[in-house]
Amino acid sequence: MIMRTAHESSHDLAQRSLSQKLWSWRYIVLRRLSQFVILLLFFGSAHWGWEVGKDVPLLSGNLSGSKFIGLIPMADPFAALQIFLAGHVLQTEAILGAALVLGFYILVGGRVFCAWACPVNPVTDLAGWLRVRFDIRPTFILSRNMRYFVLALTLVLSVLTGVAAFEWVSPVGMAHREIIFGVGFGAMALLSIFLFDLFVLKHGWCGHLCPLGAFWSVVGKINPTLRVRFDKTTCTHCGECAKVCPEPQVLNLKHLEEKGFVFSGECSNCGRCTPVCPENSLVFDFKPLIHAHNAQVQGSVSVSETQRRV
């Protein structure tokens, strides 16, 4: 369990010292690092011949399908699902790979992919940051549920056209493949996402349209082990968290007070909200420990019961 340190929280964000500021950027630094390392491993294996043995590449392939140290297959379960619907029975390796990846994200939270692995995330993050920086007002409003319709359409079209509908047009895949396997017009796809997010719709791609994100949101509903814990006893409803959150609807405090943690599948565990909370009411925690913690804080449940629940 992550314990609160008494003086970590400073009520005025602007008055934080440099070291406090750096510490508050820990998750964004870690996320960029994770995104970069994933790309680097793929790139190094494809271009610089990074190998763990003779003809055994370190990490061969890309995010659609890959093999780590010649042993562990990985595959994008959403791509695998589309291919299956397109009418191809996948080979064991792809099925196993998809199951492994799916299992991992069920454990840590589906949209952890979006915030920690997806190569489009730094681009849309930059657009989101610039939007706040230059105070670009929204031009129109679109339901965030749009992505689930795009997701459904992807699956239907895969059946009807006989090809993996999203994989064939995915700007995520285009950009990612072209970083690893050679440049084409995928950069234009990234640029258009960037401009769309910046000038047209805030968090437009990741938060409203991307069916891959929608797929991971559905996966995230299952029962992730890692979630942001919410302390209703300390929260002052200042709203700092919702200002930085790319999916602010997941921070509906009324619902959080009932559940005690950020439960929505749309939360990507990006960790933006945790350092900005002046009361430290939002902290990453393992879900089995969250109930115990909240119960202890509220003092409504005796210690023995807490242990039994854990």
CA distances from 73 to 64, 116, 120 (A): 11, 20, 23
Interface size with another protein, residues (CB under 8 A): 53
- Cβ atoms 79, 51 nearer than 8 A: no
Q: Which amino acid, 205?
A: W
Q: Closest CB to another protein among 83 and 112? A: 83
Among 102, 105, 178, 231, indicate the residue that binds another protein (CB under 8 A). 178
Residue 85 contacts residue 5 (beta carbons within 8 Å): no
Nearer to another protein, 86 or 219 (CB): 86
Instruction: Write down the H helix ranges in the chain.
Output: 18-24, 26-47, 77-85, 92-108, 112-116, 121-133, 146-161, 171-181, 186-195, 204, 211-220, 240-244, 253-259, 273-276, 287-298, 303-309
From the list 178, 180, 187, the residue with the least C-alpha distance to 43 is 180
Which position among 103, 138, 182, 239 is part of the footprint of another protein (CB under 8 A)? 182
- Per the rule left: phi > 0, alpha: psi between -120 and 50, beta: everything else, 61 is left
Q: What is the DSSP string of 160-225?
A: HHSS-TTTTT-HHHHHHHHHHH--STHHHHHHHHHHIIIII-TTHIIIII-HHHHHHHHHHTS--S
- Indicate the residue among 38 and 270 with the shorter CB distance to another protein: 38
Nearest residue (CB) to another protein, 97 versus 119 = 97
Helix (H, G, I), strand (E, B) or coil at 127: helix
* Interface with another protein, residue 73, by CB under 8 A: yes
Site string for another protein, 96-115 (x = CB under 8 A): -x------------------
Return the residue of 115, 125, 167, 293 that touches another protein, per CB under 8 A.
167
Among 6, 14, 18, 183, binds another protein (CB under 8 A): 183
45 near another protein (CB under 8 A): yes
Q: Which of 87, 103, 138, 288 binds another protein (CB under 8 A)?
A: 87
Work out how close the CB of 85 gets to another protein at its nearest, in angstroms, rounded to a whole number: 9
| Sites for another protein among residues 256-295 (CB under 8 A) | none
Q: Does the footprint of another protein cover residue 55 (CB under 8 A)?
A: yes
Residues of this chain that interact with another protein (CB under 8 A) are 45-46, 55, 57, 60-62, 64-67, 73, 75-76, 79-80, 83, 86-91, 93-94, 97, 149, 152-153, 156-157, 160-165, 167-169, 173-174, 177-178, 180-186, 188-189
